[in-house]
Structure 1
Amino acid sequence: MWRTILGIAAWLWLTITYGLISDSPDVGAALSDRFDQAWISVLVLICTFPVVVGVFVATAHSDLRRQYVRRALRSLGSIGALMAAMATFPLAMAPDPVTKGFRDFIGVPGKIVLGLLCLWSLGFALYGIGLALVHVLRTADIHELVPPSLAIVLSWELALLDVITGAYSGVPLLARVVFMMGAPVTVTALSFWEMRRLRQRHGLSLRQALRP
């Protein structure tokens, strides 16, 4: 939660300080950019998930591997549900030649049901994107040390992506560098603090996670 709150606060500071939003169209564009960035973050997280979890499982003791793989199925289920929800939007926007026959077949009652399902999918997808980032795809179900580890890797990947794509081009160079590097640095610091609290309060360490 603290990682998310700090990220939103930093974005608001950058937006207000450098006047990236000056009128109502800018508000819509900024919100659209934030949604796109959140979805890209989820996609990067989904791609990073098998790598980090795979390394974690591979380095664990043989007695623990099957248990961790079984727990990972819950996170894979959340990925599947989120991707399925997002897939409904291209289908809903498909041109008439593709869907006209199906729409004629289901009639008006079917169209109403489909419309309600699309609205539900929209809320599910938006809520799911937020939950996926805050709870790091519920990878704590695998082990409590996986979410902070994933968060560290994800934050540096996204920072590199911002550098490559030239994000926040309207912001002065020094402020842009501080903002881009501040995110992974603070996420890394918070994640190590989280790991430290887990070790001190619950006796959860990397050695304990990998060895029975």
Structure 2
Amino acid sequence: MHTSTTDRVEDKLITGMQLARTVLGLVAAVWLVAAYPLSGDGEKFLLGKLLELAFSCGILAVGSILGITVFLVASTPDRRRDFAGRLRGPISAALMLAAGPLCIWMSVKALKGDLIDGEDLKDIFSTVTGPGIICTVLAFLVLAIGWLAALAVLLGSSVYTLLATYACVFTCFLARDVHPLLPALISPLLVWSLFAFQMFNGPDVAAPPEVLYTFMLGGPLSVTALSVWEVRRLRIRHGITLRAALGH
């Protein structure tokens, strides 16, 4: 175990348990999809999963902001300054996530010709080469290269956004950088919100009710149990409690 401050810990068992639960959840999800037919077509399933990931990210963003805000407001002035100095991680995670959709938006605008079009390029090159075939060819070449570059950026930023979103969900927007208790307190909010979302959105597969609801409840219950265990381990093993965290 490495500690940088009295309430900053790196517990390999906690990290390992979180990773194991995530892997088991993914394996169970893959098995469920493989064992039973989809309730809709593949496109609907994929869009549903993307929407679910976006919903998870939004819930965690709100939960992280609320959790960090509570820590800042409820803590003593000394602890408040300490927590404020640890916000670099969550802010960096949020900015890195926002960079993906921004690149997607810019590349789509470029592909649609909303940023610059052929006539604009011809006007620019005509000031150098004069009107004629040369400026037209140059405008076409630049437009073609720009279109290919924008397409590459769109594909790359789409993959980046998916990976960044999953990383932000898995790390709770690096809320642990502020205090190790925050992920354990925020995670149950996410999983039970997802459970409500899935209940409202309907099942992805045509599985028997006992299998379907066991699977749907397995995630929230396991994450909640893991969070309770994590809070207990932080208290017993590392002496970290909510009251001490706030400086009271």
> Is the TM-score greater than 0.5?
yes
Q: How many Å apart are 1:113 and its aligned residue?
A: 4.6
Q: Does the CA-based 8 Å contact 1:168-1:176 persist in structure 2?
A: no
Q: What are the within-5 Å matches in structure 2 for residues 5-24 of structure 1?
A: 5-20=23-38
User: Equivalent pairs: percent with the same residue?
Assistant: 27
Mapped partners of 1:84, 1:190: distance in 2: 32
What's 2:244 paired with?
Answer: 208
Q: How many Å apart are 1:169 and its aligned residue?
A: 6.1
What's 1:56 paired with?
Answer: 71
Q: Which amino acid aligns with 1:41?
A: S
What are the Cα deviations for residues 161-199 of structure 1, in whole angstroms up to 9, with x where unaligned?
Answer: 112222336333333322222211110011122222222
What are the Cα deviations for residues 111-143 of structure 1, in whole angstroms up to 9, with x where unaligned?
Answer: 455444444423422221221122111111101
Q: 1:17 to 1:55 in 2, by over 3 A?
A: same
TM-score (norm 1): 0.81
Q: Determine which of 26, 33, 55 is the counterpart of 1:40.
A: 55
Q: What are the within-5 Å matches in structure 2 for residues 1-212 of structure 1?
A: 1-20=19-38, 30-94=45-109, 96=112, 98-101=114-117, 105=121, 107-168=143-204, 170-211=206-247
Mapped partners of 1:9, 1:127: distance in 2: 18
Q: Does the CA-based 8 Å contact 1:39-1:129 persist in structure 2?
A: yes
Mapped partners of 2:71, 2:21: distance in 1: 22
Q: Does the CA-based 8 Å contact 2:175-2:183 persist in structure 1?
A: yes
Q: Does the CA-based 8 Å contact 1:86-1:125 persist in structure 2?
A: yes
Q: How many Å apart are 1:57 and its aligned residue?
A: 2.5
Mapped partners of 1:168, 1:107: distance in 2: 43
Q: Does the CA-based 8 Å contact 1:103-1:111 persist in structure 2?
A: no
Report how many residues are paired.
209
Between structure 1 and structure 2, the one with the greater Rg is: 2
